[in-house]
Amino acid sequence: MFFRKKSNPLDDKLKELQMNLENNYKDLAISARKEAEDLYAKMKHDGALKEKDLLSYRKRLDDYAEKMKHYDHTNISNFLKERY
């Protein structure tokens, strides 16, 4: 018989974040990233992750933060000035 590995809630949240990015749902992606950051902090505080996993998740979250650096609706002109 085959058994499925129990899903990690942080992995699920990162999959949701990636899906929202791929579909260009900026508001949902921002929300999912914040929830993933909160979940990461909670799991880190509770000791639910190994050191190796902590580093891996931190890198992934930092990569998403960099990708989403200009995902806001406040001032597009600043973004354009920086970029061009």
Query: What's the pTM?
Result: 0.77
Task: Cite the beta strand spans of 23-67 per DSSP E.
Answer: none
Note whether residue 60 is domain-resident.
Answer: yes
Tokens encoding 77? 């002109």
Residue 61 lies in a domain: yes
In a domain, 40, yes or no: yes
Amino acid making up residue 72: D
What confidence tens digit (pLDDT) does each residue in 69-80 have?
877 655 555 555
Encoded tokens for 46: 């509770």
For residues 2 and 26, the model is more confident at: 26
| pLDDT at residue 19 in the model | 95
- Look at residue 23 and tell me if it is in a domain: yes
pLDDT in the model for residue 71: 75
What is the model's pLDDT at position 83? 57
CB atoms within 10 A of CB 41: 10
Give the whole-angstrom CA distance, residue 83 versus residue 47.
Answer: 40
Q: Which domain holds residue 29?
A: 9-69
Residue 77 falls inside a structural domain: no
Residue 35 lies in a domain: yes
Give the total number of structural domains in the chain: 1
- Quote the CA–CA distance of 63 and 70 in Å, as a whole number: 13
- For the domain that residue 18 is a member of, what is the CATH number? 1.20.58
User: Is 14 a residue whose pLDDT tops 60?
Assistant: yes
